[in-house]
Structures are given as structure tokens and as C-alpha cells.
């Protein structure tokens, strides 16, 4: 079911503060360009593209010299770890709603290879721990040897994820883990019998009308292209062929995709080394696995991410919505769910944040809160979503703790506040310029000026 866009009702008071922040960041330069979309009270309150998506000193898609490409509102971005909450978490919770998984069951119940040696510590790791990054599993796999570089090795990546050692005790602490979400992606494939990209396309993105959102596995590309190891490259001399078959994706969309960084994964072995990634996932592990993983690999636009955010807000508020989860499931997904969670943690965190912002404001960036998280050692995570951890800067300092969001390494963020019926999307290809700083602080600045301009929470 395709969902029509909500009304576009631009708020003039957002234009100057948001535009100033983004244009100043481009001028530094912190990033080449960005697309910002802000939703409020069921409308699109701000939507604008800034800067460029490809720099002037880089070749065009066909390899020819050309001027810089302007950023456009329909630019498609590698949304990196936003994959975890937009795709993988929803898929897992659909299985939960169907009674096919239980969140507090051990991982080994569904994936026996997770604990082939009957390790009593691994037996304690649950799906809840994977979804809240409290499993004790390490961060990522990309540097575990030269695998998946000359050709994709999905099976090798899954095996490495399932057998990755525990670096901490299960449930002891928050430690962000791509590996945990690779395992969750494998869980979805195992229980549905479908590739993850096929399942989420049909069961998550299509119901939400997210027509520009998909994984881009090179093996399903249709149109002029060639492969360099596991990376796809446009090739104007290649045969176009006929109509693209069902389940494939057309390389025509490469012209709308913002390039990310140069491929710096393993010189001498990687055929794509030092080439610009455009239409190939930037995340090295997802790339080595063929472009589809539970941790990364989805590409999307600001408009589609906005459709997701608005549908989520509508479902949480009990309004008509195409979101493919029940209201009660979304409440579970977007409230603290880490081991040992309780409702008092959010109250205490908000009180601590207000006190710290008054007593010891953030002098490095006055638009950000004093501390993330508000209480040292109290990391609050929903199922798939960030609430109050060191990754929470996109919340800014106006939205309360209890709102939720996520970041992506390529330079993308989404923050959603049900209390004010607001979402803030910043999509950028920050890593396109070597040394570009993380987007989280700038996104937090945008969230703060949004809260002030819309007079949220008395500001």
C-alpha cells in the first residue's frame, strides 16, 4: 500500500537557523552537502537540499571530468546503521508479533551455530541483548582477515558473526555492535526462508510506500555496470539489455546516489581499492557480504525516511498509519529495553540533564546538552533505537530523554520525538571528504534550533 505524502506546510521560522547551520558547515568544509527534512504535527515543516553531492575535482558517473553535482532533495544516500532500525529491527519484531520469536529467548534457540561449544556464557545471550547492544559481542568484523574482497562471501561473514567472541559479560553493559545486528539479519533469513533484502522490501518498505529505499546488492543490479571485486561501477559501454527483471534494481539510479568515501579496504588485495564508492555500501563488512546485512546496506532518501518517521509517529499516537507493527510493539521498540531497565530511569535522566545544562553547560557547543548520556553509566536503549547513550547527540538539548533516534557512519541521522510530534532528518555524505567529522553534533544543533524555532517544551 503506497502512502501519500503528508501535507507540506513549511515553517518560515525554521529556514534561517537551519540553513545557517548547514551552510556554515559546508563552508568550513565539514561536509559537501546535505538534505534536511523536519516533520512536525503531521506536516513537513522543512525540506531542503544544500551544497553538492559530488565534488568538482572528481569524475562524473561515466568517468568524465565535470562540474560538481548539486545536492537534490531526491538524492539517495547510503544510510549505514539506520539500516538497523529502519529494516532489521522491524523485521525481527514482526517475527515477535507472529509468535515466531520471543525477545528474551537465547540466540542459540534459533541459531544453534551461535553456541556450538555449549559455552554457558554464550547461552545467556538473548535477542533482547542483541537488539540493545548489550550482548557482550565485539563491534565489527571488517578487519578479521582478507575475506570477501575479490568476491562476496556472505556465508563467511555470517559464520564470523555467529562465532565472534564475547568481549564482555552478557547484559553487563552497552557496547555498540554491528556483529549483533548481522546475527539478527541471519535470524530473519533463517526463520522466513527469504533473503533479508527481499523480506524487508516486501514487508517493511513496500507497506510504507518507501519506493526509493532498498538494499543494492551488486548481484541484483540491472543495467550498464561492471564489478570491481564486490563494488559496482557504472559502465556506459556495457550492454543495457531489456527490462530489468523483478527483484533487481536498475543502475539508472546511480546518478541520484551520493558517493561516500574512497574504498580504503585492504590495498593490494581489493580490486576496488581507492575507487569512489557510489551505489556500493560503504560499510566494509556489509560490502564483503555482498551488500546485504542486518547492520548496514540500505539506501534511502530524506522523503522516504520521513515517510517511515511519520508513520511511526502516527502509529504510536493511535492515528491511522501503514506502519507494519502494532502500537504496543512500537511502544516496546522505542522505550528503554536494555537488561535492568525501568521507567524511573528516563525520569532520573531528564532531571540530571536539566540540572547539568543549567550548572555546567556545554561550552564547546552551546546547542548541545552537557552530557550524553545524562547519567554516567546509565545507557538507555530501545529495541534497535538509541535513547540516551554517547551516541545521542542528534537529540540536541530541547527534545527530552525518552525521544529516540539513530546515527549512521556515512553522515546520516534520524531523531523522533513523540512528545512534540516531531522528527528531524539530516542526510549527508560527510565521509565523502577525508577527515569529515561525525554528523552527530551538527544534527544535534539542527534539532536544538528546530525545538527553539517551533517553541517546543516552552522554548
**Predicted confidence (pLDDT) per residue in 75-115, tens digit:** 999 999 999 999 999 999 999 999 999 999 999 999 999 99
pLDDT of 1 over the 90 cut: no
Higher pLDDT, 215 or 434: 215
Q: What is the mean pLDDT of the chain?
A: 95
pLDDT at 301: 98
pLDDT at 342: 94
Closest CA relative to residue 149, chosen from 228, 88, 258: 228
pLDDT at 144: 65
The rounded distance, in Å, linking the Cα atoms of 304 and 205 is 9
The rounded distance, in Å, linking the Cα atoms of 323 and 312 is 6
Q: What percent of the chain has pLDDT over 70?
A: 98
Query: Residue 35's Cα: distance from chain center in Å?
Result: 15
Report the pLDDT averaged over residues 373-399.
Answer: 98
Report the pLDDT averaged over residues 252-260.
Answer: 95
Higher pLDDT, 60 or 341: 341
**Segment 196-203 long-range contacts (CB within 8 Å, at least 24 positions apart):** 196/87, 196/88, 196/91, 196/292, 196/293, 196/294, 197/292, 197/297, 198/247, 199/91, 200/87, 200/88, 200/90, 200/91, 200/298, 203/91, 203/94, 203/324
- Residue 238 near residue 225 (C-beta atoms within 8 A): yes
2: pLDDT confidence band, cut at 50, 70 and 90? very low
Cell numbers given for 57:
575535482
Closest CA relative to residue 47, chosen from 443, 406, 426: 426
pLDDT at 3: 42
Report the pLDDT averaged over residues 103-129.
Answer: 98
pLDDT at 426: 98
pLDDT at 437: 79
Angle CA 125–130–135, to nearest 5 = 50
> Which residue is listed with cell 562465532?
163
| Residue in 81, 295, 300, 443 annotated catalytic | 81
pLDDT at 142: 61
96 to each of 177, 230, 264, 366, 378, how far by Cα in Å?
Answer: 21, 33, 39, 42, 27
Report the pLDDT averaged over residues 281-296.
Answer: 96
The answer to whether residue 239 is catalytic is no
**φ, ψ (nearest 5 deg) of residue 100:** -90, -20
Least confident of 186-190, 194-198, 261-265: 261-265
pLDDT of 455 over the 70 cut: yes
The rounded distance, in Å, linking the Cα atoms of 58 and 254 is 15
Higher pLDDT, 237 or 360: 360
Report the pLDDT averaged over residues 432-458.
Answer: 92
Q: What percent of the chain has pLDDT over 90?
A: 88
pLDDT at 430: 92
The rounded distance, in Å, linking the Cα atoms of 265 and 143 is 9
pLDDT of 4 over the 60 cut: no
Amino acid at each position: 500500500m503506497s502512502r501519500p505524502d503528508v501535507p507540506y506546510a513549511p515553517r518560515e521560522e525554521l529556514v534561517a537557523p537551519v540553513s545557517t547551520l548547514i551552510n556554515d558547515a559546508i563552508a568550513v568544509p565539514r561536509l559537501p552537502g546535505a538534505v534536511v527534512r523536519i516533520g512536525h504535527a503531521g506536516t513537513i515543516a522543512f525540506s531542503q537540499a544544500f551544497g553538492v553531492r559530488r565534488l568538482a575535482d572528481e569524475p562524473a558517473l561515466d568517468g568524465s571530468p565535470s562540474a560538481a553535482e548539486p545536492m537534490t532533495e531526491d538524492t539517495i544516500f547510503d544510510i549505514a546503521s539506520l539500516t538497523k532500525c529502519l529494516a532489521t529491527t522491524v523485521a525481527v519484531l514482526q517475527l515477535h508479533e507472529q509468535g515466531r520469536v520471543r525477545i528474551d529467548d537465547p540466540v542459540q534457540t534459533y541459531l544453534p551455530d551461535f553456541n556450538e561449544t555449549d559455552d554457558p556464557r554464550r547461552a545467556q545471550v538473548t535477542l533482547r541483548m542483541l537488539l540493545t547492544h548489550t550482548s557482550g559481542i565485539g563491534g565489527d568484523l571488517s578487519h578479521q582477515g582478507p575475506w570477501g574482497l575479490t568476491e562476496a562471501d556472505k556465508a563467511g561473514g555470517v559464520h564470523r558473526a555467529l562465532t565472534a567472541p564475547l568481549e564482555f559479560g552478557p547484559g553487563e553493559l552497552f557496547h555498540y555492535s554491528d556483529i549483533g545486528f548481522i546475527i539478527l539479519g541471519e535470524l530473519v533469513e533463517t526463520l522466513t526462508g527469504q533473503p533479508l533484502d527481499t523480506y524487508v522490501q516486501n514487508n517493511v518498505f513496500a507497506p510504507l510506500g518507501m519506493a526509493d529505499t532498498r538494499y543494492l546488492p551488486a548481484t541484483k543490479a540491472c543495467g550498464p555496470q561492471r564489478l570491481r571485486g564486490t563494488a559496482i561501477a557504472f559502465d556506459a559501454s556495457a550492454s543495457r539489455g531489456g527490462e530489468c527483471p523483478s527483484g533487481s534494481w536498475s543502475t539508472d539510479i546511480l546518478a541520484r546516489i551520493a558517493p561516500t568515501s574512497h574504498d580504503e579496504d585492504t590495498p593490494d588485495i581489493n580490486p576496488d581499492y581507492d575507487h569512489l564508492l557510489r551505489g556500493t555500501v560503504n560499510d566494509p563488512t556489509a560490502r564483503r557480504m555482498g551488500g546485504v546485512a542486518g547492520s548496514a546496506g540500505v539506501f534511502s532518501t530524506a522523503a522516504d525516511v520521513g515517510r517511515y518517521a511519520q508513520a511511526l509517529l502516527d502509529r504510536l499516537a493511535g492515528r491511522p498509519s501503514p506502519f507494519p507493527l502494532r502500537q504496543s510493539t512500537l511502544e516496546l521498540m522505542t522505550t528503554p529495553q536494555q537488561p535492568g531497565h525501568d521507567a524511573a530511569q528516563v525520569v532520573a535522566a531528564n532531571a540530571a540533564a536539566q540540572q547539568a545544562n543549567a550548572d555546567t553547560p556545554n561550552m564547546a557547543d552551546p546547542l548541545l546538552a552537557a552530557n550524553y548520556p545524562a547519567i554516567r553509566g546509565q545507557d538507555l536503549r530501545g529495541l534497535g533505537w538509541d535513547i540516551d547513550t554517547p551516541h545521542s547527540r542528534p537529540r540536541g538539548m530541547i527534545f527530552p530523554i525518552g525521544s529516540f533516534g539513530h546515527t549512521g557512519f556515512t553522515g546520516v541521522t534520524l531523531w523522533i520525538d513523540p512528545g512534540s510530534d516531531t522528527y528531524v532528518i539530516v542526510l549527508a555524505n560527510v565521509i565523502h571528504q577525508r577527515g569529515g567529522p561525525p554528523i552527530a553534533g551538527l544534527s544535534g544543533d539542527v534539532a536544538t534550533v528546530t525545538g527553539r524555532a517551533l517553541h517546543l517544551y516552552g522554548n
